[in-house]
Amino acid sequence: MKKPKQAKHFIKKPIYPGGIKAIRQFIKEHLKYPEEALSNKIEGAVRVSYAINHQGKVIRTKITSSLGYGCNEEAERLVRLLKFEVPKNRGVKVTFHKKISINFRLPKTKPKKQVLYHYKESPQTSKNGYTITIPYPKS
């Protein structure tokens, strides 16, 4: 009779539902670029180390690489919103430590709207049979 296979690791790590892609999507949707950083045209990355308790909630955050101008506070706010799934660890309540890098990139400015012209054929034709077209601004 074979023994049942045991798990590779004694303590199972917390998992964000959907994986790293879901974390990035969450950050992209909830990131509010700080006004101070926007006015000073600040770009860069903020590294945050954080602790996850046995319930999957972020309980502590610490900035390890700072950017300033309100970006640090925004990065901490985003990390505190994350909720993880923590599998049962044989009755042991474990606090996990993780790191994340949150990138702040200035929003792309849209180019000025150009007036496009389209041509309408006029009912008039010249003597040689060509029709005359007049450009009108597109509405």
What residue ranges define each of the domains in the chain, with the CATH number in brackets? 19-104 (3.30.2420.10)
Cα–Cα distance measured from residue 79 to residue 68, given in angstroms and rounded to the nearest whole number: 16
Percent of the chain with pLDDT over 70: 76
Cα–Cα distance measured from residue 15 to residue 88, given in angstroms and rounded to the nearest whole number: 12
Using one digit for the tens of pLDDT, what is the confidence trace for 19-53?
999 999 999 999 999 999 999 999 999 999 999 99
CB 47 within 8 A of CB 64: yes
Cα–Cα distance measured from residue 8 to residue 77, given in angstroms and rounded to the nearest whole number: 34
CA dihedral defined by 19, 23, 24, 26, rounded to 10 degrees? 140
3-17, 67-81, 118-132: least confident range: 118-132
Q: How far is CA 7 from the centre of its chain?
A: 34
- Residue 97 structure tokens: 């430590």
Residue 113 has pLDDT above 70, yes or no: no
